[in-house]
Amino acid sequence: MIDDSAPAFYEAALRELERRVLELTVLCERQHKENQTLKRQLQGLQHERSGLIEKHELTKHRVEAMIGRLKNLEETP
């Protein structure tokens, strides 16, 4: 005797597997897009950080130069 429910069971299992694969594919695509966005944001923030470090160093040197000039003014009679 052949069980008629077996092919239906396998069809249902296959449809469920296809649905899950599609769901995972969509999730992977979403994660990939998010990853690309985060990489662009990171690159922008790294560029901004470099600019801020450069500004900080320039300001530091200017302040040190001003302090040096002020000390020279104090020392001159």
Cα–Cα distance for residue pair 53/39, rounded to 1 Å: 21
pTM (2 d.p.): 0.66
Helix (H) or strand (E) segment spanning residue 41: helix 5-75
What's the CA gap between 46 and 40, in Å, rounded?
Answer: 10
* Residue pLDDT, tens place only, 53-69: 999 999 999 999 999 99
Mean of pLDDT values over 1-21: 87
pLDDT in tens, 33-56: 999 999 999 999 999 999 999 999
Q: Is residue 62 part of a domain?
A: yes
- pLDDT for the residue 29: 99
User: For position 57, what pLDDT does the model report?
Assistant: 98
Q: Cα 11 from chain centroid? A: 41
Question: Would you state the pLDDT for residue 6?
Answer: 84
Query: Within its chain, how far is the Cα of 30 from the centroid?
Result: 14
The Cα-based distances of 71 to 50, 57, 64, 66, 77 in angstroms read 32, 21, 11, 9, 12
Q: What range does the domain containing 56 cover? A: 48-76
The answer to whether residue 64 is domain-embedded is yes
Residue 60 within any structural domain of the chain: yes
User: Does residue 61 lie in a domain region?
Assistant: yes
